[in-house]
Amino acid sequence: MARYSHIVGWGMYVPERVVTNDDLAKIVDTSDEWIRTRTGIRERHIVDKPNESTSTLAVRAARAALDKAGLPPSALDMIIVATSSPDHLFPATACIVQDALGATRAGAYDLSAACSGFVYGMAMAHGLIVSGQADTVMVIGAETLSRLVDWSDRNTCVLFGDGAGAIIMQAREEPGGFLASVLGADGSGANLLTLPAGGSKLPASVETVRNGDHYIKMDGRAVFRFATRVMAEATREVVEKAGLTLDDVELIIPHQANTRIIDSSVIKQLKFPKERVFVNLDRYGNTSTASIPIALTEAVEQGRLNPGDHVVFVGFGAGLTWAAALIQWGMPAPPLPTWKRWWYRFWYPWSRLLSAYRRLRRRVFAAWLGTKERSQEELESLRERTRRGTEDRS
């Protein structure tokens, strides 16, 4: 029996604090007029509480997507978090999200493909579903890039915003859903958009902090040229791959980086009608991996998608990477009965309690093990086994 992967849930979350262009003009040499005309951005949402991070935004978006799909977290087989601003280098932000949701049956991993990451994640989810390895996969794009930009660098700090968007993809028998994808990379442009320090190549040190190497560095003009080319090419390719033409596409949801990039790629080069291109970057700025799922959520809420519609998601980002996917929108899930909604709400505090219990149990066990001294014989046998293992290998 053929398996198709459909989007059955969607949700978004942005932090409360809004930073306008005029606010930025107070801290760097810029103006509302420059930012609006060069990027299309008017304002962005920024985390301003110490306990907010990429995972906390991701969890809010994920819960909204589960609500929309009418599914409990236990239904998830896999959680993929696409992000360039993870909570930590490791563990994966996806694992933190998995624990916070109480998605105890789900595997979880992070995906790093910069702003193209969400569409890469959709393609991975589709692969897992059609190959039968998973039935229900959550894909999240979440960022707190405000924590990684240099707030004294006007070339970058005006561009980015924080936020998260999530979708749930699920196996279905009805044809439709995810129809085609195009994923690409060109690492020769890795230096054009990078966060140089903090990895194994340039570990964090007093020196890297002094040089500001822990902030985003970007050659804006080169990224601009690359973006306008690949957004048009990837869109054209994915439509062809699905056996369709641009006339069959009801909506394009591009990565929300800059209205000029969107205008000169999909609108001018492909001659695609402007009114069928979804843009909301004026209110959120460039939220990187979160921009496409946030835009999708708003597009659905505004009634821009009907069952049977074809929609293209297309993005580009650091790497350099690019990605496009073509989806045939399906039937919305029937609304959840009230008792189920309440039951699912109860799930989150309950799973927090369970998680706290698991932590406590681990701590008690570690303390108990720490007090138990190994006997001399045990140590001798351990040494012997290690020595024999080394000899066998050599």
Q: Are 81 and 92 in contact (CB under 8 A)?
A: yes
The reply to whether 294 sits near ligand ACO by the rule CB under 6 A is: no
The reply to whether 26 sits near ligand ACO by the rule CB under 6 A is: no
Mark whether 51 is an active-site residue.
no
Q: How far is the CB of 321 from ligand ACO (least distance, A)?
A: 8
**Whole-angstrom Cα distance, residue 186 to residue 321?**
6
**Whole-angstrom Cα distance, residue 152 to residue 132?**
49
Mark whether 258 is an active-site residue.
no
Q: Are 161 and 142 in contact (CB under 8 A)?
A: no
Among 59, 69, 115, 314, binds ligand ACO (CB under 6 A): 115
Who's near 169: CB < 8 A, 6+ residues apart?
Answer: 5, 6, 7, 8, 122, 125, 126, 129, 136, 137, 138, 139, 177, 178
Taking the least distance from each CB to ligand ACO, the nearer of 93 and 286 is: 286
Q: How far is the CB of 257 from ligand ACO (least distance, A)?
A: 4
Q: Are 138 and 81 in contact (CB under 8 A)?
A: no
* Residues forming a β-bridge with 43: 20
- Binding track, positions 154-183, relative to ligand ACO; x by CB under 6 A: xx--x-------------------------
The reply to whether 82 sits near ligand ACO by the rule CB under 6 A is: no
The reply to whether 39 sits near ligand ACO by the rule CB under 6 A is: yes
Among 83, 144, 258, 328, binds ligand ACO (CB under 6 A): 258
The reply to whether 318 sits near ligand ACO by the rule CB under 6 A is: yes
- C-alpha distances in Å from residue 217, one per residue of 64, 194, 199: 33, 5, 15
The reply to whether 54 sits near ligand ACO by the rule CB under 6 A is: no
Question: For residues 324-363, which are near ligand ACO according to CB under 6 A?
Answer: none
The reply to whether 121 sits near ligand ACO by the rule CB under 6 A is: no
The reply to whether 3 sits near ligand ACO by the rule CB under 6 A is: no
Among 193, 197, 238, 312, binds ligand ACO (CB under 6 A): 193
- C-alpha distances in Å from residue 135, one per residue of 8, 95, 112, 289, 371: 12, 19, 23, 23, 45
Task: Give CA angle at 193 (187, 194), nearest 5°.
Answer: 90
Q: How far is the CB of 58 from ligand ACO (least distance, A)?
A: 17
From the candidates 115, 126, 157, 258, which is the catalytic residue? 115
Q: For residue 191, which amino acid is it?
A: N
Q: CA Rg, the chain, in Å?
A: 23
- Interface stretch with ligand ACO, choices 10-18, 65-73, 150-158, 164-172 (CB under 6 A): 150-158
The reply to whether 223 sits near ligand ACO by the rule CB under 6 A is: yes
* Residues forming a β-bridge with 311: 251, 327
Mark whether 286 is an active-site residue.
yes
Which residues are part of the catalytic machinery?
A: 115, 255, 286
Instruction: List residues near ligand ACO by CB under 6 A.
Output: 30, 34-35, 38-39, 114-115, 154-155, 158, 193, 218, 220-221, 223-224, 227, 257-258, 286, 288, 317-318
